[in-house]
Amino acid sequence: MSTPGMPACAVVDLDAIRDNVAALRDRAGGAELMAVVKADAYGHGLVPSARAALAGGASWLGVAQLSEALELRAAGVRAPLLAWLTVPHDAYAEALRQDVELGISAGWALAEVAAAARATGITARVQLKLDTGLGRNGVTPADWPDLVEAALKLQADGLVELVGAFSHLAWADEPAHPTVTAQAAVFREALEVAAARGARLGLTHLANSAAALTRPDTTFDMVRPGLAVYGLSPIPQLASPAELGLRPAMSLYGRVALVKRIPAGHGVSYGHAYTTTEPTTLALVPLGYADGLPRHAGNAGPVQLGGRRYTIAGRVCMDQVVLDIGPDGGAAGGPPLAAGDVAVIFGDGSDGGPTAQDWADAAGTISYEIVSRIGARVPRRYVGTAGTGGGET
């Protein structure tokens, strides 16, 4: 981190995003690739990350909410774009004006989109979402024929154009799990049902990051990676990012705010969940759960400082964490650590420092959550030139 005076900073390598997408596209063979940039691109920054993904060869972008799609359009991103998680009375009319394709998971949504098409005079391009077994968003197989028929009727009226179908896997992070094969079979059967009713679905997709990397039988017309776009492994128990040809794009840093000596037997932070066992030195790093660090990673979260790796001493507080850097003040044969020194919360791990996956393991969660929860108070600094047309931002 090279920005003086900044308590914390997340550095995002746009070239890593570009290269990850290129690697994923190579694995997809002739299929198209939709880069999922929902949730502020998993915390990496929506617009810069979307542009970097397009520079890597993504032919589509995917978001959950319409607000995300409209933000991309307002920024001048004109690539094909699908939004799939909407609510009644959502901004359908504006989505149609901005050429956003809509995922349809229920009859009411199809009816509202058709009403927006009628009001704007713009034919809505829709993709139907099927619940093949996840038990979440999407129409059930029992209701699928009725949704297809309703969409075809509206297509005949000129209100919608039925262009695709998609679903989502429940257990793709375990590639051999029988649900993966079962869901793919349900999806194929549904496509046959739609075709028998006259639907011409030009774009079908099922594979998320894990399936795109491990289950080519789920590729269909397009793959839809999210986490892997940002260089993290969706199957950490099987392969690291490097083993998958990926490079983590985000590194999180904090600048030490205070270093002080304390005696043995001194409690540290709320509830004294940590107590020193000898005279030692504490270093305070101004990042906490308000910035996205998991509170339940107290006494577990790893941090690298001065080339050494430490574990958070005590609880993760709202704005700060404390490190016990030892009796020598973290000197390690050099000058003692001091206020202003930079702590690595997580990065790509190439120098032995902690990774987002290490934090996920410490907190009992997944790396998706670690990066996507980094809050707005932490500024993003972009390095690399992918999608920028210029230098760092």
Enzyme catalytic residues: 38, 270
Residues 6+ apart with CB under 8 A from 389: none
For CA atoms 191, 195, 199, 201, the dihedral sign is positive
Distance CA 40, CA 310 (A): 30
Distance CA 254, CA 1 (A): 8
H-assigned helices in the chain? 14-27, 38-42, 46-55, 66-74, 92-97, 107-120, 144-156, 178-196, 209-214, 356-363, 367-372
3-state secondary structure of 225: coil
Distance CA 378, CA 376 (A): 5
Distance CA 318, CA 59 (A): 40
- 34 close to 221: Cβ distance less than 8 angstroms: no
